[in-house]
Amino acid sequence: MGQVSLSGSPNLNLPGSATLDGGPVGGAIGGLDSSEGADGLSFGAVLKNAVDSVNAVNNNAGVQINNLIAGRGGDMSSVMIAVEKADASFQLMMQVRNKIVSAYQDIEKMQF
């Protein structure tokens, strides 16, 4: 699969890639790194890196807001674009989270 991009939001390299948002992947969330895929990328590492990317976009928007309020430059339109990018990234992350929780609940309901 290829790269997914929502006009300025973090780029996510889907399976078959060793990076997320152009950087190397490291670390994991809550011990989820125990099962690595064929490319050596764990599910926990992918989630952690996605959350870090969304956090970086949010932090960038916060910095731009603070700079505008303090009068250190920046214009309203670029600040609003940064805020909308952060909002879209967060909403996308929440939808992915909802799908993961739903899949987990479906697996939990299975009887073996």
Is residue 7 very low, low, confident or very high in pLDDT (cuts 50, 70, 90)? very low
> Model confidence over 58-109: pLDDT tens digits?
999 999 999 999 998 889 999 999 999 999 999 999 999 999 999 999 999 9
| Token couple for 24 | 């190397």
Q: Which carries the bigger pLDDT value, residue 67 or residue 5?
A: 67
Q: How far is CA 98 from CA 34, 90, 101, 104, in A?
A: 22, 12, 5, 10
Residue ranges covered by each domain of the chain: 3-109
| Token couple for 47 | 């989630």
> Model confidence over 21-71: pLDDT tens digits?
444 333 333 444 455 665 678 989 999 999 999 999 999 999 999 999 999
* DSSP code for 112: -
Give kind and range of the element (H or E) at residue 57: helix 43-70
With beta carbons less than 8 A apart as the criterion, state whether 50 and 6 touch.
no
